[in-house]
A = this chain, B = another copy of it.
Amino acid sequence: MLSNNPHINHPHLGEQYALLTDLYELTMAASYLEEEMHEEATFSLFIRKYPPDRGYFVAAGLEEALNYLATLRFGEDDLAYLDSTRLFKIAFLDYLKTVRFTGEVWALPEGSIFFKDEPILEVTGPIIEAQLVESFLINAINLQTMIATKAARSTVAAGGRRLVDFSLRRTQGTDAGLKVARASYLGGFVGTSNVLAGKLYGLPIFGTMAHSYVTSFKSEIESFRAFARAFPHNTVLLIDTYDTIAGAKKAIQVGLEMAARGERLRGVRLDSGDMAALSIEVRRLLNEAGLDYVTIFASGGFDEFKITRTLEAGGVIDAYGVGTKMGVAADAPYFDIAYKLVKYGDKPVMKLSTGKVTYVDKKQLFRFYEHQGQMAEDVIGLREESFSQAKPLLQPVMTQGRPLAPLPPLSASRELFLREFEQLPTQYKILQDPPNYPVRISAGLQHLQERVEDNIRRQELGVRE
């Protein structure tokens, strides 16, 4: 996802990734062109189902989606490649030469809390343009929304303790490594071990030493001393290489040596074993030695469930490195997310495939609140509807292919998330089997929905009223 000089806004995203699409987007586009179908189409992006134990989602990935749309173009070598497949006529390849995304986008701001079936994003534009971008948009929104949601769950479990993204080595690829760092920060983490993500997104970065560091020295304590020499103000000692309690005692010795020099050991890190029991014992040893200011950091298989278990067992851990299971959303590694045509020209449309509902037409999402500001209910309605008591959540963010305004900085999106998350009643935040937040559809949408479905049944399935 990077140009040679990577920076946050990826100005060439759409150029680099015009071909990062499913072949059918191009074959459909070729047919639309031949059929002279250039009317405006609206596609809606939404999540059909809650994965296990999920009862809300945290919107993320919009910045990447808009950067892609704003810069989409096919290069010479892209067209040469398409030509080489012998699938396409010259007229279509000529068309692709100049195609740009010229449509409009309504979306939930990054950091928003939302629920299943609710539109995250709606794209309106000439059907070829709005169709071509399907694969990329789903990919971008799916990953970051999935991770921000998983991170929010860890944030709930940790109850104010600090969480750091440690997942880079096991994320599914390099792009995920970066996006997970970004999305977990959005979902309440304080930073990441990923240096490039720190640079690209302005995130705080964390990290000190690995087991290999300890084992490369003649002895464990010599490795601790060497690290303290190099980083007198930023030393967190990994103490489980050989035995956590033996390691803690050596860390205390080095901590006292540092104190004698007027320095402060910052922390120790646990990375294996019974985290609750070990943290209690290590805390006791540190305090007895007068090192009560030394924090205990823990890593190794943490996610919202292990954090909860560790706290329930009395663990006294100040901060967690949360890695693999958050970084791949291990218990729910994909969403049932879709980008569906809901209107073509004047005609609201849907598919009827077994067990799947798509709400037709351009929509708006309305949120009702309790008097105390807590979220009460959402209504999915038609774009032109309004409800005096509700806040409309989808905002126009792009028109004629250009962003309407600069997007907020990531820190502001993180604040938005934290604020909205406060408004979500606690009962919906429980980590296992949460209840469903109430979402209904407006009478106007319900009426249109039924009319469109009846028409399709009559026309396509020969069903009489």
Please report A residues at the B interface, Cβ cutoff 8 Å.
Answer: 1-6, 12, 15-17, 19-28, 30-32, 34-35, 37, 41, 43, 75, 77-78, 81-82, 85, 87, 127, 131, 134-136, 138-140, 142-143, 146, 166, 168-179, 193-196, 198-199, 205-216, 219-220, 226-227, 229-231, 234, 240-243, 246, 271-273, 324-325, 327-330, 333-335, 337, 339-341, 344, 349-356, 456, 459-462
Indicate if the CB atoms of A169 and B226 lie closer than 8 Å.
no
**A195 cross-chain contacts in B, Cβ below 8 A:** 19-23, 26, 81-82
Residues of chain B lying within 8 A (CB to CB) of residue A230: 27, 30-31, 34-35
- In the complex, chain B residues whose CB is within 8 Å of the CB of A135: 168-169
- By a CB distance below 8 angstroms, the chain B residues around A175 are 1, 173-176
| Interface pair B172/A171, CB less than 8 Å apart | yes
Whether the Cβ atoms of B328 and A172 lie closer than 8 Å is yes
Rounded to whole angstroms, the CA-CA distance of A31 and B224 in the bound complex is 11
Residue among B27, B28, B272 making CB contact with A356, cutoff 8 Å:
B272
CB atoms of B170 and A173 under 8 A apart: no
CB-CB nearest in chain B for A144:
B173
List the B residue with the shortest CB-CB distance to A278: B354
Identity of the chain B residue whose Cβ is nearest the Cβ of A301 in the assembled complex: B336
**Number of this chain's copies in the complex:** 2
Cβ distance A1 to chain B, nearest Cβ, rounded Å: 5
In the bound complex, residues from chain B placing their C-beta under 8 Å from that of A139 are 168-171, 173-174, 177
Q: A34-B226, A35-B230, A242-B456 are in contact. List 10 more A-B contacts (CB 8 A).
A: A5-B77, A131-B212, A140-B174, A211-B341, A215-B344, A216-B349, A219-B460, A240-B353, A272-B354, A273-B353
Are A341 and B30 in contact (CB-based, < 8 A)? no
| Chain B: CB-nearest residue to A220 | B460
Question: In the complex, A306→B5 CA distance in Å?
Answer: 44
Inter-chain contact A22/B207, CB cutoff 8 Å: yes
In the complex, chain B residues whose CB is within 8 Å of the CB of A78: 199
Least distance between A250 CB and chain B CB atoms (Å): 9
Query: In whole angstroms, how far apart are the Cα atoms of A127 and B209 in the complex?
Result: 14
